[in-house]
Chains A and B, each alone.
Chain A
């Protein structure tokens, strides 16, 4: 078990115009499940591969515990990795795949067998131990890849999008399995994904990245409730937050001819162009004459438990696409006009140019 510390760790691919990761500073606690999330090309995989030793660190340092591993080859870092395509050795049986690292570490044969058997039992792979990877389903292969990591009993698990090759149902199930396994074993884990739902459901903390830079590192709920900037606000949450560009005007935000009241902190700080953000579930439907924002319904998605209404606001100037979460039994029809409003406390205000959060 160990903490992980990135100190201005930089990766600059030879021949590239700019670094993939200009210099990341991140401290991961002992036993923590840290998720790196962001769109493709944001440097999350590069960061993980630097930790694993598969990418050279051009400057800065990486520590596992107190040990500076910046220049240590991967085999001596005491880490295990689960790859996106699992990277199973096709010529070895499941048991040999899981035992390979132990064999390399010269663990005695009976100890090896015991650890493989234990891991297989945890993962439900006991009856497949003699099979070759090609005779397994995708989900089983994924579990073998997990098994190969856990028999090592390493200091750190690195996981690079381990669920992206599974079908939707399998992914949801495996998501929970991995999270549970990690909390049982208590091994510090760095998990890379582009899927914000995975990030939110699995991570103790989530690091949101964009263009090689950390945007915000926080617990899933704090990311959701207090996104630090426009990028995080738009990235976290599904369907995404309604973001509307307006102008600060006397402690309120003017969207066309509609005035949005905001919280006092934002009211004090904001000036010029600002963007207001409202989560789909933060809207309240009000009567026609209660001063709500008029929205013309274009699509209604009924999901059973709840529903999402997609519409355009008829605010003068730019019409905005608006998403509203409604209770499933509010029968909303396509083409009708809804009037929605929200509380100032639920309005996120961002500076349009810098993207910085202005609300509390």
Chain B
């Protein structure tokens, strides 16, 4: 225990020390150059470590994954599109894909709707209570998803009928005289997937709410007053005057939550390991890599995810540029 703590502290100190040393050295190198050249080169030298990190930790693995997706399970032979073919024709994987799409649609949409709702309602409270309620909604953000899962296990937990129920939902149901339900095994209408999404939503809505609340407060009050005088009721004022003015933030929150829904792993892995038809791409990737030892299939899943993320990223970059140009 102590050893671990000391190790961690040492790592941090050494890490920072090396970084400082690196920048100091780069600076020295730049100073050796003639002064006109120095001014031109210096920014590049400073940005270089960041670029290097990006290449080593992001671009290189992406390229490797891309290559391996066209190779067999042990990355020794080229197999062309066989990995993709095998995945996309597999009924189980198709379900995984469908589940992932469900996550991508439901999580961002619900985040926006609830986030906006909470932000609007909190805005009407006195500042003290507004901050209090926003803090409470935001708090789950600070808990790691694995930690949160421990809590949520007790919400969904199931014991056979007759034994004491430790799960909150089943405790309520049995106390009302019902039979306990194995919640996480209920795959009809993807109920169990929805229950897992609730966990991610619980953790993420605070983030969306804080951004949206800030945006709502940034809407000029006089435009709201103008709308009231122009004959708009509360609902019309909200949808025709407030929402269009915070559209930029809504898009940002939507995209951010969309991306986090696409790469979800921990919630599903910890709660069901993808069983009972709750599997999603993130978990399937992990399973292929660590249980099936199939580098090819795992890499192919990564490539599929990458392709799905690409248009979203493009839109986000374009959107940010437009926002910046305003």
Contacts and interface: CB of A to CB of B under 8 A. Distances in A.
B230 A148 contact: yes
B85 interface: no
B144 interface: no
A80 B227 CA distance: 10
A100 B228 CA distance: 11
Interface in A37-68: 52-54
B230 A104 contact: yes
B227 A100 contact: yes
Contact of A75 (B228, B244, B245, B326): B228
A264 B223 CA distance: 56
A319 interface: no
A80 B229 contact: yes
A75 B220 contact: no
A90 interface: yes
Nearest to B219: A90
A79 interface: yes
Interface residues of A, number: 27
B222 interface: yes
A81 B226 contact: yes
Nearest to B244: A91
B233 interface: yes
B41 interface: no
Interface SS of B by simple majority: helix
A88 B326 CA distance: 17
Interface string B226-249: 111111110010001100110100
Nearest to B228: A74
A85 interface: yes
A331 B244 CA distance: 63
B130 interface: no
B249 to A, nearest CB: 13
B179 interface: no
Interface string B151-188: 00000000000000000000000000000000000000
Contacts of A73: 228
Contact of A91 (B222, B230, B233, B245): B245
Given A91-B244, A91-B245, A104-B236, A81 B223 contact: no
B220 A87 contact: yes
A166 B15 CA distance: 57
A286 interface: no
B225 interface: yes
A104 B236 CA distance: 9
B230 A54 contact: no
A100 B230 contact: yes
Contacts of B245: 89-91
B114 to A, nearest CB: 24
B225 A87 contact: yes
B224 to A, nearest CB: 9
Interface of B: 220, 222-223, 225-233, 236, 240-241, 244-245, 247, 326
Interface of A: 52-54, 73-77, 79-81, 83-85, 87-92, 100-101, 104-105, 134, 148, 152
Given A81-B225, A83-B225, A88-B223, 16 more contacts: A52-B225, A54-B225, A54-B229, A74-B229, A75-B230, A79-B229, A81-B226, A84-B222, A85-B222, A87-B222, A100-B230, A101-B229, A101-B230, A104-B230, A134-B326, A152-B230
A-B pairs with the 8 shortest C-beta distances?
Answer: A87-B222, A101-B230, A104-B231, A91-B244, A87-B226, A75-B231, A83-B222, A74-B228
